[in-house]
Amino acid sequence: MKKFIGYAAVLTASMMTGSAHAANWLMLQGTESSSSAPRAKVWGFIQPEFQSTSGTELAAGPWKGQDAAFNMIGPDLDSSDTFQIRRARIGVRGTGFGLDSGVNYFLLVEAGNNGITKLGGGGAVKATDASVTFNYIPHARFRVGLFKTPGSEEGLMAIHVFNYVNFTSMARQQLLERFLAEDGSRTGTDKEVTNAPVSAIGAFRDIGVQVFDTFKNGNWEHSYAAMVGNGNGIDWSDNDSNKDYYLYWASELVFGGKKARRQGWKMFAWYNDGTRTLEYVNGVAGKQEFDRKRWGFGTTYLKGKWRAAAEFTWADGMIFNGSDGGAVAGSLNNAGTSRASLNMLPEDKADGWYVDLGYKVMPQLELDVRYDILHRGTETDKGQRDFETWTLGAQWFFNKKARLIANYEIRSAEAPGWSSSAPPNKILDGMDDRFSVQILAIF
């Protein structure tokens, strides 16, 4: 009860202050703005970046003295200080599609260095979106194909208007899904026990069919979406016969403006329910199915120089649980008897929330601050891990299509069920702060 009251207080404060972009992502991504939209509009963006930590090594455990996975820069996890092209996307969208203005389409591919292109094989360029929307039935538009699922604001919003370089801990660990074949319980020196992802990271996307639309009532705009998908991320194939179900609702008081930078106050709630299959659990071979549920609610607000956002999220089942000893997956322990693996808690829970504030001190410069927390593995005292991050940021807008983002993340983590001198807390005490700078250029 105390935790719920705290959540409510933070949410109320964020509403009163001001949120990220109060945009209608369902309509912006799933439809064209008018029947006069071009048959084909080519567009894209690129995000070169630099990220750095102090590279503190593991202070305890079987991998003591080796690289700490949480201090290495993803997706490669082989350096604590690196330049990379985080995202490089190009796509085409339009209306007509050889039929009429009631049909529009959206196609986008990724060529950057991230979990989409580097995990699970399949080549260095992958499709992230490939959908067609049919706008014939009043109040029920149908979108079919591969596209973003209706859910958390962090995942649903367009990444090229995201206000930070990195996602919150809750979104990165529990919403941005990694598809593993096992729970990570196997030990040994064979590389297969590493439990590497079997496909690309989920990218907040799925292949399926969605019905959605928006209703206007004065200055209020209400949106809904219901979707059925494979539950297998951006992978073209389906790994089992189970399906994922998604529900979404948003109500927004529109102040003015348009598209991704529209000003308004939006409230939203979402729910996702699916099933995942693991082939090896608790040392036992054989397929087992587990429920995976995610849900949350939040608010965004944008007006004048101020913006703010808050969101609260819960996860039940298929909890991503990092790597053995905090080591980079695949690393041999110091005794040479076992490799670090990625781990999944198939029947555990997690919860987290964030508050995000921004203020434009001048038209070209916005200052940002975000606080986020994740409670992971909350079903057992010894298994719980808490992650807390303060992100200080600045955005310099060169123009409407180019900006620079600089972030400094003050990061900490603890194992509350263990003493401060126990190995889990010695390991987590070594979590470094992280500096990042990124340039976004849209074309």
CATH number of the domain residue 140 falls in: 2.40.160.10
Domain range for residue 48? 2-442
* 3-state SS, residue 23: coil
Q: Give the residue-averaged pLDDT of 379-392.
A: 97
Predicted pLDDT at 96: 75
Cis, bond preceding 75 (omega within 30 deg of 0) = yes
Task: Give the CA count within 13 Å in the CB-facing half-sphere of 376.
Answer: 25
Reference 31, options 124, 105, 130, 83; nearest CA is 105
Domain count across the chain: 1
The Cα–Cα gap between 253 and 288 comes to 45
What's the mean per-residue pLDDT of the chain?
92
Terminal-to-terminal C-alpha distance of the chain = 49
The Cα–Cα gap between 186 and 282 comes to 8
Over 80: is that where the pLDDT of 100 sits? no
Q: Under a CB-based contact definition with an 8 Å cutoff, are residues 391 and 407 in contact? A: yes
φ, ψ dihedrals at 14, nearest 5°: -65, -35
Burial of 145 (0-12, 13-18, 19+ CB in 10 A): middle
Q: Sorting pLDDT into bands at 50, 70 and 90, what band is 101?
A: confident
The Cα–Cα gap between 328 and 339 comes to 9
Q: Sorting pLDDT into bands at 50, 70 and 90, what band is 317?
A: very high
Predicted pLDDT at 43: 93
Reference 368, options 308, 311, 411, 410; nearest CA is 308
Q: Give the residue-averaged pLDDT of 178-183.
A: 96
Over 90: is that where the pLDDT of 219 sits? yes
Q: Give the residue-averaged pLDDT of 142-149.
A: 98
Over 50: is that where the pLDDT of 2 sits? no
Torsion sign (Cα): 68, 73, 78, 80? negative
pLDDT in tens, 289-306: 999 999 999 999 999 999
Predicted pLDDT at 7: 39
Burial of 409 (0-12, 13-18, 19+ CB in 10 A): buried
Predicted pLDDT at 436: 98
Q: Sorting pLDDT into bands at 50, 70 and 90, what band is 142?
A: very high
Q: Give the residue-averaged pLDDT of 139-144.
A: 97
Reference 265, options 23, 9, 12; nearest CA is 23
φ, ψ dihedrals at 47, nearest 5°: -135, 85
Nearby residues of 198 by Cβ (< 8 Å), 6 or more positions away: 120, 179, 180, 181, 239
pLDDT in tens, 191-213: 889 999 999 999 999 999 999 99
The Cα–Cα gap between 377 and 382 comes to 9
The Cα–Cα gap between 76 and 348 comes to 28
The two structure tokens encoding residue 352: 């987290």
Q: Give the residue-averaged pLDDT of 168-187.
A: 97
The Cα–Cα gap between 172 and 179 comes to 13
The Cα–Cα gap between 63 and 65 comes to 6
Percent of the chain past pLDDT 90, that is, above it, reads 86
Over 80: is that where the pLDDT of 51 sits? yes
Reference 339, options 55, 59, 62, 118; nearest CA is 62
Q: Under a CB-based contact definition with an 8 Å cutoff, are residues 269 and 246 in contact? A: no
Q: Give the residue-averaged pLDDT of 128-154.
A: 96
Question: Strands, DSSP E only, in 282-364?
Answer: 284-303, 306-316, 319-323, 342-345, 349-362
Over 90: is that where the pLDDT of 12 sits? no
Q: Sorting pLDDT into bands at 50, 70 and 90, what band is 19?
A: very low
